[in-house]
Amino acid sequence: MNKLLSSAIAATALLGVASAQVTLSGAGATFPAPLYTEAYIPNFTKATGIRVNYQAVGSGAGIRQLTDKVVNFGASDAPLSDAQLKEIQEKNGSPVLHIPTALGPVALTFNLPGIEELRLDAATVADIFLGKIIRWNDPRIAALNPGVQLPRQLISATHRSDGSGTTFIFTSYLSAISPEWKSKVGAGQSVNWPAFSSLGGRGNPGVAAIVAQTPGSIGYVELKYALENKLPVVTLKNQAGNWIKPSLASAVEATSGIELPDDLRLQNQVVNTKDPQGYPIVGMTWLLVYQKQEVTAKSLEEAKALVRFLNWVLTEGQKLNEGASYVRLSPEVVRRAQALVNTMTYNGQPLR
List, in sequence order, every residue forming a beta bridge with 286; answer none if it has no partner.
Answer: 76, 100
Collect contacts of 143-146 with beta carbons under 8 A, ≥24 apart. Answer: 144/119, 144/120, 144/237, 145/117, 145/118, 145/119
Walking along the chain (352 residues) 10 residues at a time, the average pLDDT comes out as 42 42 95 97 98 96 97 97 97 98 97 97 97 97 98 96 94 97 96 84 96 97 95 98 97 91 92 96 97 97 98 98 95 97 97 89
Contact in structure between 34 and 13 (CB atoms under 8 Å): no
Domain ranges (residues) in the chain: 2-102+284-350, 105-282
- Estimate to the nearest angstrom the gap between the alpha carbon of 195 and the chain centroid: 24
Q: Residue 268 has what pLDDT?
A: 79
Q: Residue 21 has what pLDDT?
A: 83
CB neighbour list of residue 94: distance below 8 Å, 6 or more residues apart: 290, 291, 292, 295
Q: Residue 10 has what pLDDT?
A: 40
Confidence (pTM): 0.91
What does residue 280 show for φ and ψ, rounded to 5 degrees? -85, 0
Give the integer Cα–Cα distance in Å for 92 and 114: 54
Q: Residue 5 has what pLDDT?
A: 41
Does domain 105-282 fall into CATH 3.30.930.10? no
Report the CATH architecture of 2-102+284-350. Answer: 3-Layer(aba) Sandwich (3.40)
Contact in structure between 50 and 20 (CB atoms under 8 Å): yes
Domains 2-102+284-350 and 105-282 share a fold: yes
Q: Residue 36 has what pLDDT?
A: 98
Contact in structure between 217 and 209 (CB atoms under 8 Å): no
Q: Residue 352 has what pLDDT?
A: 82
Q: 86: how many CB neighbours lie within 10 A of its CB?
A: 12
- Estimate to the nearest angstrom the gap between the alpha carbon of 169 and the chain centroid: 9
What does residue 210 show for φ and ψ, rounded to 5 degrees? -65, -45
Q: Residue 314 has what pLDDT?
A: 98
Q: Residue 3 has what pLDDT?
A: 44
Q: 263: how many CB neighbours lie within 10 A of its CB?
A: 14
